Amino acid sequence: MAMDRRTLVKYLAGASAAGALAGCISTEEPDDDGNGDDTGNGADDDDDGDFEEDEDWETVTPQDGVDGEAELWHSLSDAELDAMERFVDEFNEFDPTLTADEVSELEDQTTAAIPAGDGPELFLWAHDWIGDYHQNGFLSDQSDNLNIDPEEYFGENAESGVFQGEVHGLPWAAETVALVYNREYVDEAPETFDDVLEIAAEHHDPAGNVFGFCWPQDAYHVSAMPHGFGPGYYDEDTEELTLTDDGTIAGFEYIAEEVWEYMPQDPDGEAQQSIFMEGQSPFFVTGPWNLGAFDDNDIDFGVMPLPEADGHTPSPFTGVQLLYFTAEMDEDDERADAAVAFAEWLTTNTAIASEMAQDHGFIPVHLAFADDEDDDEVEDIPENLEAYSAAVENGQPMPTAPEFGNVWEPLETEWLAVLNEGKDVADAMADAEDEIRDSWD
């Protein structure tokens, strides 16, 4: 079973999506401060809240005769929820009708409701569930029911919604983590992790409740170093664990030996985040979902990809948010048509993509925003997302293999034993691999 990462801090998330993410997102080089305005947000405010569609990319609207009803489940944040409600109201001006419901514990709810015939036609989540849900028969192949060629709109990102040749969803946005820095402590973006650690040491004062670095220590957030120094957690091509690879171990050791001493000694994501949000740390590793919170807390911040560490480029996990097609669509053609109509309308709407980028930190995967040297009409993304886009290029897509869901918990348990109990990293990763393999047998 996949780890429900969104209950702690909103996470993201196939296999061929790696090159897609790198090649499909407009990534102008961020300026020296990694942001671009005096507020720390980097986005240009849209005073009237209106976003225009790209005239070169027509939004796909429902086909004539499509007038059924469909349901979408999601676990969006409050601000994102308000936007989704407006989008649904706009879509419902067409003949089909969509109902969108916020659902807590989305994984538990979908895995219980779909096989019982009580689930939605659509749900929104990162791409890494696709393999497990495909294997369990929770998804529908809508290859023959689509009115678009997804590759024409999303390029290779369309592959994030495909598993074993079946189209199980359409991509909406990308996410990953990067390094956020507080300009109260940091004058300019550091060039290397050695520079980061020098700044961290300068300001680290636990007695004064100031910490040099904040970084949630769950298996998702720390993935950048094991995947930058080595192969990381799992080789999807060979279907082999790589936790005990020397490079992977070196990446974990770098965090434990070089960074952990400057962090609040509670590895929990909320504990790490609260320190930075209170202005008590120069650095925080997080995703674009927190950009609005930084503004709310009056933090003057910059964003940059995690810099080179001992000659290695950190490679964080990346994900693509999908509108998944569930097995409920195989039971009712009218509802399936309505669900496809909404998915195509939402994901091809460039005005919606612009709004979600500017207001909510969603990195667009629509080709209207792609970096094309021959196209002067590329849609811009806010400057506060440019560094995240660059981090996506450095990143590694989360595996979609069903068995990878069994990796999270043992890995995280052993990693926390390293931090909290001083366990040797190599021993911890060997024990994690043993437990994971036992779960696969």
**In this structure, are 298 and 360 located in the same domain?**
no
pLDDT for the residue numbered 21: 38
219 CB neighbour count, 10 Å cutoff: 22
The CATH number given to whatever domain includes residue 195 is 3.40.190.10
Nearest to 33 by CA among 181, 175, 177, 178: 181
pLDDT for the residue numbered 266: 96
Nearest to 301 by CA among 269, 276, 318, 275: 276
**In this structure, are 246 and 155 located in the same domain?**
no
Domain encompassing residue 140: 5-175+318-397
Q: How many residues does the chain have?
A: 441
**In this structure, are 244 and 373 located in the same domain?**
no
β-sheet bridge partners, residue 122: 72, 325
**Residue 406, both tokens:** 């069994």
* Interacting residues of 117 by C-beta distance below 8 A, sequence separation 6+: 328, 331
Chunked mean pLDDT (size 10), the chain, 441 residues: 36 34 36 40 46 92 97 94 96 97 97 98 97 98 97 94 97 96 96 98 98 98 98 96 98 98 97 97 96 92 97 97 98 98 98 93 91 54 83 93 96 98 98 98 90
Nearest to 350 by CA among 375, 379, 385: 379
**In this structure, are 370 and 414 located in the same domain?**
no
State the Cα–Cα distance between residues 280 and 184, nearest whole angstrom.
Answer: 10
**In this structure, are 161 and 182 located in the same domain?**
no
Question: How many folded domains does the chain comprise?
Answer: 2
Nearest to 11 by CA among 287, 298, 262, 326: 287
pLDDT for the residue numbered 372: 52
Torsion angle, alpha carbons of 265, 258, 434, 177, to 10: 80
Q: Which amino acid is at 316?
A: P
Pairing of strands 178-182, 301-304: antiparallel
**In this structure, are 106 and 48 located in the same domain?**
yes
pLDDT for the residue numbered 276: 98
State the Cα–Cα distance between residues 161 and 140, nearest whole angstrom.
Answer: 11
pLDDT for the residue numbered 50: 76
State the Cα–Cα distance between residues 229 and 219, nearest whole angstrom.
Answer: 15
**In this structure, are 253 and 287 located in the same domain?**
yes
pLDDT for the residue numbered 379: 60
pLDDT for the residue numbered 41: 41
**Residue 280, both tokens:** 């008590």
**In this structure, are 367 and 238 located in the same domain?**
no
pLDDT for the residue numbered 38: 36
**In this structure, are 112 and 187 located in the same domain?**
no
pLDDT for the residue numbered 48: 41
**In this structure, are 331 and 406 located in the same domain?**
no
**Residue 253, both tokens:** 């050791």
Q: Domain end: 397, 417, 432, which one? A: 397
pLDDT for the residue numbered 67: 96
* Interacting residues of 45 by C-beta distance below 8 A, sequence separation 6+: none
β-sheet bridge partners, residue 284: 180, 214
**In this structure, are 381 and 235 located in the same domain?**
no
Q: Which helix (H) or strand (E) holds 234?
A: strand 234-235
End-to-end distance of the chain based on CA atoms, in angstroms? 15
State the Cα–Cα distance between residues 212 and 183, nearest whole angstrom.
Answer: 13
**In this structure, are 162 and 187 located in the same domain?**
no
